[in-house]
Amino acid sequence: MSTFDSNALECLAAIVEEGGFERAAVRLSITQSAVSQRLRSLEVQVGTVLIVRSRPLRATAAGRLLLKHAMQMRLLRADLERDLKDLTPGDSGNSGDAERVSIAINADSIATWALPALGRLAQQGLGLEIITDDQDFTIEWLREGQVLGCVTTVKQALRSCRLVPLGAMSYIAVAETVWAAEHCPNGLSPQNFRSLPFIAFNRKDDLQSEFVGRVLKLNQIALNQLYVPSSEGQVRAVLDGWGVSVVPELQVREQIRQGRLVDIALGHALPVDLYWHCWNLDSAVLDALTEALTGAAARSLTPTSVPALVL
Name 150's bridge partners.
Answer: 104, 277
Instruction: Encode pLDDT of 142-178 as tens digits.
Output: 988 889 999 999 999 888 899 999 999 999 999 999 9
Question: Which secondary-structure segment (H or E) carries 78?
Answer: helix 61-87
**Residue 290 near residue 103 (C-beta atoms within 8 A):** no
**Hey, which residues does 152 pair with through a beta bridge?**
275
pLDDT > 70? residue 237: yes
What pLDDT sits at residue 79?
83
| Alpha-carbon torsion, ordered 169, 172, 173, 176, to 10 deg | -100
Would you give the DSSP letter of residue 202?
S
pLDDT tens digits, one per residue of 246-287: 999 999 999 999 999 999 999 899 999 999 999 888 898 999
Q: What is the DSSP letter of 124?
A: T
Q: Cis link prior to 116 (omega < 30° from 0)?
A: no
Q: What is the pLDDT of residue 282?
A: 87
pLDDT recorded at residue 65: 87
Structural contact between residues 236 and 191, judged by C-beta atoms closer than 8 angstroms: no
pLDDT score at 34: 92
Pair 171, 248: CB distance under 8 Å? yes
Query: Is the pLDDT assigned to residue 97 strictly greater than 70?
Result: no
Cα dihedral 206, 294, 95, 283 in deg (nearest 10): -110
> What is the arithmetic mean of pLDDT over 18-22?
90
CATH class of the domain defined by 169-271: alpha beta
Q: Which of 2, 12, 23 is nearest to 49 (CA)?
A: 12
Q: What sign does the CA torsion over 50, 71, 98, 141 have?
A: positive
Select from 226, 214, 234, 278 the least CA-distant residue to 112.
234
For residue 188, what are the β-bridge partners? none
The amino acid that residue 16 corresponds to is: V
Each residue's pLDDT tens digit, 81-96:
877 776 665 554 444 4
Between CA 98 and CA 233 the distance in angstroms is 31
Listing DSSP states for 139-182 in one string gives HHHHHTTS-SEEEES--SPPTTEEEEEEEEEEEEEEEEHHHHHH
Q: Is the pLDDT of residue 228 over 50?
A: yes
- At residue 180, the pLDDT reads 98
Its pTM stands at: 0.77
What are the CA-CA distances from residue 139 to residues 65, 79, 148 (Å)? 16, 23, 10
The C-alpha atoms of residue 274 and residue 297 are separated, in whole angstroms, by: 9
- The rounded Cα 197 to chain-centroid distance in angstroms is 26
Q: Is the distance from CB of 12 to CB of 66 less than 8 angstroms? A: yes
Give the percent of the chain with pLDDT over 70.
Answer: 93
**For residue 106, what is the enclosing H or E element?**
strand 100-106
CA 264/CA 246 separation, integer angstroms: 10
Helix axes 231-239, 249-258, angle to 10 degrees: 20
Using CA atoms, how far residue 97 sits from 74, 94, 101, 127, 282, in Å, is 12, 9, 12, 8, 23
| Calpha distance 135→131 (Å, rounded) | 11
